[in-house]
Structure 1
Amino acid sequence: MGQKATRVYGHIADSIRADEGLFVTGLALIAVCLFLAGALLLGLRAAHRAVADFPAEPGATVYFHPRLADGMLQNLSTELRQWPGIARVTVFPAAEPRSRVRVGLENWADFLNGPGEAVCGPSLEIELKSGEITREETAELIAKLKQLPQADRVRSRGEWVEKTQLLVNAVDYTVAGFLAFFSILALFIILQWIRAGMLRRSDRLEILHVLGAEPSFVVLPYHVEGTCLGAAGAIFAAALLSLLVVMCRDLLPSPLSGLSLPRAWEMLLFDSMLIAWGAFLGFLGSWLAFRHHALRGEFAIPRALFRRS
């Protein structure tokens, strides 16, 4: 076992020494590809959390003046629950993070400058009885809500939720396409690195075949090399992603960062999955290098050497 580990280590060290510039370039490109893929996944996760945080049932949100007393807000919510067509009324005080985010999404300039009490008043989220109220009745109900003396403004959420969901669906397909592209690009880089190593050692591989070496003895160093290369690139990508999340947590306003950015354990799990994906791409790249190039006769290597590998 120790001899096998030493042989694999020597194989990888020889590959790096043979062309350090190509190794560093390939490692950097793999890290960039996996970093971009991970950033897209984190962005998609944030978009899904932002959309899922607000229910899609028909309803409206009533915003009030920041100085409205909590007692008056509770009394008003109790009164609105008695109105026909209203299924549920949820109270969000001014300090509630969702209230700040909801208002901020509609007032980006104020939100990015740091929302104060002037744009973070309390609100009532009203859910209507789905299927029991028509569009005309919904419009009449929203008009009545706008007539409340305490109301600052009223917004119907049905239309923008539907449009947002369509946008998120389109983003899903776009991100999936980019993920496939970056993964294939990283796989291609690993494949070319393994292929270059096989070209440098084609004579040695043929000698091993003449000596009767087992296929696993020949291909194992290449599989380990590809796996380590993919995992190393993924480790760099994971470190960059963690740094990006920390920077976003410091730069973004606290309500938005709290709702969209992953927690520490979620980021650790995501980094682990990214490293595992990089290692898998590395192994797959080395396997494809043998199957696609060596078995096609591109090198002076007999097919029998890889038939059982």
Structure 2
Amino acid sequence: MTSFLGYVLRKTLKNMRRNLFSNITTISVIGISIFIFLTFSLVAFNLSSILKIWENRFELVAYLKKGTLLNEVEMVLKRIRQLDGVETVNYISPFDAMEFMESKLGRQKNLLEGIQPNVFPASIEIRLKKDYWGQTRLTYVAKELSKIPQIEEIQYGKEWIETFSLVVYLVRVTQWILGGVLFLAILFIVSNTLQLTISSRKDEIEIMHMEGASPGFIRIPFYIEGAIQGVLGAAMAIGLLYIMYKIVLLAIEPMMKGWMAGIKILFFPYDRISWFLLGGILIGLLGSFIASIKFLRYIK
């Protein structure tokens, strides 16, 4: 069995060297096609990761009406804590809000000179339980908060979250539509390349068939050739994408401050990379299968 596999592999590599230019072209085209698909996949992967991080930081802010008394604030806090889905409640007084603004301004805090703390509205930061991070339950809590007379305004970035979620969805849809088109293109390229290889060896194949070689034995080298083209193309795509990822990372890392702090631009984990390589092999095998079906029909 080992000697048979060795023979088939040597024969496959010999055939690939014989048609070196067409094989390099095929691997390059496969690599570029998979690279385009993986680029969209990586963008979607990171957008989803960023969305999850922001959801974890997510909280509602309820701004109180001016003139709300301290005893009323205690009543409001108690009522909010009783709402379904509320995990923590934090009251921010006008003095606290001014101190926070000064810390944010740093050396420019002198811009606040002459401004009284009562300019800043008192607010309540409300963090929800994980089960309530969804848009439907979030809207429910916001409606319940709006029923409290002392609350003037509620902010929770509903429109922003909906817009960002839509962007993630559109990128994913584009990724799979483009992936489908590229998948068909790769199949066409691989099958056509192997069809040319089979045609150039037609006489040799006929002799092998006359000598008693089984159809499976004749087809195996072409299957292996397709698999090699697929995995090398996938490896090339992953390598190019990783280089581009590092270049982009070096360019944008210094700019990731403020609301972007703590967010990491990620590359695919090893298990997903393994699946991409396996996908390359399967695409190559399928392309070679299509080519052999079309050009080796005479082999019974």
TM-score normalised by L of structure 2: 0.68
What residue is the counterpart of 1:11 in the other structure?
12
Deviation at 1:240, TM superposition (A): 1.2
Partner of 2:47: 47
- Partner letter of residue 54 of structure 1? W
Q: Distance in 2 between matches of 1:118 and 1:159?
A: 27
How many residues are treated as equivalent by the alignment? 245
Q: Report if aligned partners of 2:30, 2:234 keep a CA contact under 8 Å in 1.
A: yes
After superposition, the Cα gap between the structure-2 partners of 1:58 and 1:85, relative to the gap in structure 1 and judged at 3 Å, is farther
Structure 2 contact 198–295 (Cα < 8 Å) conserved: no
Indicate the residue corresponding to 1:179 in structure 2.
179
In the alignment, which of 281, 284, 304 is matched to residue 283 of structure 2?
Answer: 281
User: Displaced runs of 4+ in structure 1, greater than 6 A?
Assistant: 78-81, 138-142
Among the aligned pairs, what percent are the same residue? 19
Whether 1:216 aligns to 2:207 is no
Amino acid at match of 1:137: S
1:129-278 alignment runs, 5 A limit: 130=137, 131=140, 133-134=142-143, 137=146, 143=152, 155-253=155-253, 254=256, 256=260, 259-262=263-266, 266-278=268-280
Deviation at 1:185, TM superposition (A): 1.7
1:213 counterpart letter in structure 2: A
Q: State the 1:292 CA deviation.
A: 3.4
Change (3 A) 1:291 1:135: farther
Give the distance between the partners of 1:249 and 1:35, measured in 2 at CA. Answer: 18
Deviation per CA, 1:3-52, whole angstroms, max 9, x where unpaired?
5423432333233323x332222111111111111111111111111222
Q: Return the letter of the residue paired with 1:185.
A: A
Where does residue 111 of structure 2 map in the other structure? none
What RMSD over aligned residues (CA atoms) do the two structures have, in Å? 3.7
Q: Where does 1:84-99 land on structure 2 (aligned, <5 Å)?
A: 84-85=79-80, 87-89=86-88
Check 1:82–1:142 CA distance in 2 against 1; reply closer, same or farther (3 A cut): closer
Per-residue deviation, 1:118: 4.4
Confirm or deny that 1:82 pairs with 2:77.
yes
Residues 58 and 127 in structure 2, CA contact (< 8 A), matched pair in contact too: yes
CA–CA distance in structure 2, aligned partners of residues 59 and 245 of structure 1: 32
Rate the CA distance shift 1:247–1:267 in 2: closer, same or farther, 3 A: farther
Distance 1:90 1:40 in 2: 39
**SS of corresponding position for 1:126:** strand
Q: 1:224 to 1:160 in 2, by over 3 A?
A: same
Judged with a 3 Å threshold, the aligned counterparts in structure 2 of structure 1 residues 292 and 80 are, in CA distance, closer, same or farther, namely farther
Letter in 2 for 1:259: I
Query: TM-score, normalising length from structure 1?
Result: 0.66
**Alpha-carbon displacement from aligned partner over 1:260-298 (angstroms, at most 9, x marks no partner):** 5226xx533332221111111111111111123433xxx
